Structure 1
Amino acid sequence: MEQMIIKGLEGITVAATNISLVDGDHGRLVYRAYWAKDLALQHDFEEVCYLLWHGRLPNEIELKKLKNDFREQRRLPAHLVELLKILPENMPMMSVIRTCISAMGDGSYQWPPKVEEAIKITAVLPTIIAARSHLLKGENVIDPHETLDHVANFLYMLNGEIPLGAHSKVLNAYFVLTMEHGMNASTFSSRVIASTESDIVSAITGAIGAMKGPLHGGAPSEVTAMLDEIGSKENAEGWIREQLEKGKKLMGFGHRIYKTRDPRAEALKEMTSQLTKEDPWLDLAVHVEAEAIRLLEEYKPGRKLYTNVEFYAAAVLRAVNMPAELFTPTFTSSRVAGWTANVMEQSLDNRIYRPSSLYNGGMPKD
């Protein structure tokens, strides 16, 4: 009987999980029995980390402790400061992150993984990004703020200024909406490594390596380039018509999994729509989306092509003055919460992953 090969394991169920549901047919994203959209609009990143790690939202005392733990753990250990200084200047930021997280793996990290370890890794990752950014520019590294929450502190460390409340709020929504998304390539990588009973640092290092690949962690920089080229509301319709008449693809529209509206894009749209009066860039993005959806239906009727999360991710990251080269690292800063949750869940009912392969080579002649 001929053996069937499912390339990429597409459609193959490899684990049971309580962490998230990605329902592409109906455009739904759920984190532990909560709509991800509602969490993004109503809760801080740290609260949703607690939800993913513990299975419930924290009470006031638990949240206060978690935020304090984040503040204590986000300072760079001395050896990481030295490592950041000696890594080659042309080393990509994702490679820098991967190397630094790996360098955290001293003997204190053991199987099974612990929440305290997840906090350490999640808290320090934005500090690595910000410190490396300043060092590459020959600038002094900005220490973490003593009182700001996780997302606001990231913006502070990058820019050296207390961020606008609107910017912290919209970036927090982005972090929450991208922190977990089912059995994607990087999450699967983390669970495979964890299934060998390796430590959480090794699992997250592997996940970062998977995220670095352009087919998975590709930044929404092409959406930013599109919006830059359009430039103004007045140019939107003409520019979009020209692209569609040439048969070109509009960046940020359509999704491999979601056959209807991407719930993450819907949540970011709701958030950004409240801020368009404060930010012309977000105002342009909302207008371009409306024009594009209208014209896509005109040129490609019945295809139901809507904005995906990359469209509004580009709008959000540009609005908070995030350099394009930090788009994927910023995505990684949010997704690490989901990776660590999956690694801990894997340890609860572990079995090493050992799929089969089909040998197509020759046999010995004798």
Structure 2
Amino acid sequence: MSENSSLFSADLAGVVVGETAISDVQGDSGLLSYRGIDINDLIGTPFLHVAWLVIFGDWPTEAEKRNLRTFMCDHARLTHPEQDLLGHVPRDLHPMLMLQGVVPLLQMPEEETLGKGLDAEHGLFIAAKISALIAAHYRLSQNKVILHPTAGKLRHDNFLTMFHGKAPSREQVRMLDAAQILQMEHSFNAGTFAGRVCASTLAPVQSSISASIGTLFGRLHGGADQAALEMAMEIGSPEKAEAYVQECLANKVKIMGMGHREYRTVDPRAKILKPMAMELCTDPESKNLLDTLVAVEAACQKEFGSRGKEIWANVEFYKGAVFHSLGIPTHYFTAMFAMARVFGYVAHFLEFRQDNCLIRPRAAYTGKPTAARDQSAA
């Protein structure tokens, strides 16, 4: 260990690396707000209106609402070249790897139509394409034809129809709207920070979003949603949850979806999502998975409580149960996360570019001492 080792934080925990006006994560009190509005007060608001608020800082006008809805629907229709591009992607490739690779290859619009600048236009264009790419990639993996959005439909109504080939219920659209609003933005999380580092080099927005998507894929970040539900599937039933938790703790195995780096109390998003999951997961398979997750959380709280500690489920823990009840396969969960979080990525890209500076930290060198040069040979 070097003599400078006490001067750095390997995980940057608690280190302030910048300023943002986009979202506020108050970990000690378990609060989250977007642009000064508590997350609880945003549930029930149209998804795209919240996306506009997150990106631009104000609610859209009536004209902006119409233009945004038309823009997102138009660009959620994959062009023939985009379909050909996606057709060359292996059908069994994880959708997160598909998104990370395809996003930088999209042909960006050359003119702006929303009056918010070309970077914002490109960011929203990518956000529209991501929903289409996820649905189309799934359809191709099932040897089914790619479907296109219908003008006038809500964003998630269109998405679920394009994904499954049949119209969802109003309740399913409401649930997906809420889940996606909850995970739209979360300050300087790992994926967002990776995008800001990329943006700091003056790379284009598609490169920044691709970097963020690649970071989100990790099991310790966005991939926890897939891992948590697959854990419930592996456990099998609520009665086996306590033994599973005890075994994990005995072997120092991380229980995916439990605990959060920022929150010292209940994750405010999980507080909203858990009762929603209980309301939506009514079929026998979904209910058993949800009951198993609830039992895992209870067992974790019991075990940690006996050691004088508290632990709570985070948003990824119960989100998987909601997605499963909507018919989304587990390996698409994190792509669904990216479909929402991309609006946060765009917001941070635009914010950072207002006062861009290259992010270039120093490292404490711990290798062999540099050998002295032999001056006599000169």
C-alpha deviation, 1:250, in angstroms = 5.1
Task: Classify 1:7/1:70 alpha carbon distance in 2 versus 1 (closer, same or farther; 3 Å).
Answer: same
Task: Name 1:359's counterpart in structure 2.
Answer: 365
**Alpha-carbon distance in 2 for matches of 1:84, 1:247:** 40
For structure 2, the 5+ residue unaligned runs are 374-378
Question: Contact 1:113–1:200 (CA<8 Å) still a contact in 2?
Answer: no
Q: Give 1:300's match in structure 2, choosing from 297, 304, 311.
A: 304
- Report how far residue 12 of structure 1 moved: 1.6
Greater Cα offset, 254-263 or 101-110: 101-110
Q: CA deviation at 1:230?
A: 6.0
Instruction: Go from structure 1 to structure 2 and tell me whether the alpha carbon gap of 1:229 and 1:212 turns closer, same or farther (over 3 Å shift).
Output: closer
Task: Tell me the C-alpha RMSD between the 2 structures.
Answer: 2.6
1:160 Cα offset (Å) = 0.6
**Is residue 331 of structure 2 the alignment partner of residue 329 of structure 1?**
no
Q: CA separation in 1, counterparts of 2:235 and 2:214?
A: 34
Q: What is the one-letter code of the residue matched to 1:24?
A: G
Contact 1:269–1:286 (CA<8 Å) still a contact in 2?
Answer: no
Is contact 1:105–1:202 with CA below 8 Å preserved after alignment?
Answer: no
How far is 1:29 from its partner? 1.0
1:24 to 2:27 alignment: yes
Structure 2 equivalent of residue 93 of structure 1: 95
In structure 2, the residue matched to 1:127 is: 132
How far, CA to CA, are the matches of 1:107 and 1:183 in structure 2?
28
Taking structure 1 as reference, are residues 89 and 285 closer, same or farther at Cα in structure 2, changes over 3 Å only? Answer: closer
- Of the candidates 36, 52, 55, which is equivalent to residue 54 of structure 2? 52
Partner SS for 1:21: strand
SS in 1 for 2:32: strand
Distance 2:137 2:294 in 1: 38
User: 1:219·1:327 contact (CA, 8 Å) conserved in 2?
Assistant: no
Superposition deviation, residue 128 in structure 1: 0.7
Are 2:350 and 1:344 aligned? yes
2:142 corresponds to 1:141: no
Residues 152 and 244 (structure 1), Cα distance of their counterparts in 2 relative to 1, 3 Å cut: same
Q: Are the aligned partners of 1:109 and 1:200 in contact in 2 as well (CA < 8 Å)?
A: no
Determine helix, strand or coil for the equivalent of 1:114: helix
The alpha-carbon distance between structure 1 residues 230 and 141, as it changes in their structure 2 partners (threshold 3 A), is: same
Deviation at 1:223, TM superposition (A): 2.7
Match of 1:175?
Answer: 180
Secondary structure of 2:25's counterpart equals strand
Aligned ranges 1:1-366 → 2 under 5 Å: 2-3=3-4, 4-39=7-42, 41-105=43-107, 108=110, 114-228=119-233, 236=238, 238-246=239-247, 248=249, 251-275=256-280, 279-280=283-284, 283-284=287-288, 287-288=291-292, 291-301=295-305, 302-361=308-367, 362-366=369-373
Q: Give the Cα–Cα distance (whole angstroms) in 2 for the partners of residues 120 and 198 of structure 1.
A: 17
Change (3 A) 1:2 1:295: closer
SS in structure 2 of the partner of residue 214 of structure 1: coil
Q: Give the letter aligned to residue 311 of structure 2.
A: L
Give the distance between the partners of 2:93 and 2:232, measured in 1 at CA: 29
**How far apart, in 2, do the equivalents of 1:210 and 1:82 lie?**
27
Deviations 1:25-81 (A, max 9, x none): 111111110112321x22122011110111122244432221111111211133221
Asked if 1 retains the 8 angstrom alpha-carbon contact of 2:44 and 2:174, the reply is no
Whole-angstrom distance in 1 between the partners of 2:357 and 2:118: 15
For residues 109 and 130 of structure 1, the distance between their equivalents in structure 2, rounded to whole angstroms, comes to: 27
Paired with 2:210 and 2:297, the residues of 1 have a C-alpha distance of 39
Runs of 4+ more than 6 Å apart: none
Matched residue type, 2:30: G
Give the conservation status (yes or no) of the 8 Å contact 2:224–2:257: no
Offset of residue 113 of structure 1 = 5.5
Deviation at 1:188, TM superposition (A): 1.0
Compute the displacement of 1:138 (Å): 2.1
Identity, in percent, stands at: 32
In structure 1, C-alpha distance between the alignment counterparts of 2:125 and 2:248, rounded to whole Å: 48
Inter-partner Cα distance in structure 1 for 2:84 and 2:96? 18
Distance 1:288 1:87 in 2: 36
Greater mean alpha carbon deviation, residues 44-53 or residues 278-287: 278-287
Q: For the structure 1 residues 85 and 244, does the alpha-carbon distance in structure 2 shift closer, same or farther, using more than 3 Å as the test?
A: closer
d(CA) in 2 for partners of 1:38, 1:146:
28
Worse-superposed segment, 25-34 or 352-361: 352-361
Which stretch of structure 1 is more off in the superposition, 145-154 or 118-127?
Answer: 145-154
Q: Distance in 2 between matches of 1:290 and 1:203?
A: 36
* Contiguous gaps of at least 5 residues in structure 1: none
Cα distance per residue 1:248-284 (max 9 Å; x no partner) = 46543322221110111111124334445x5555655
Change in 2 beyond 3 A, CA 1:351/1:252: closer
Counterpart of 2:370, as a letter, is M
Give the SS at the match of 1:12.
coil
Q: Which amino acid aligns with 1:256?
A: R
Instruction: Write the letter of the residue equivalent to 1:166.
Output: E
When structure 1 is superposed on structure 2, of 327-336 and 209-218 the one drifting more is 209-218
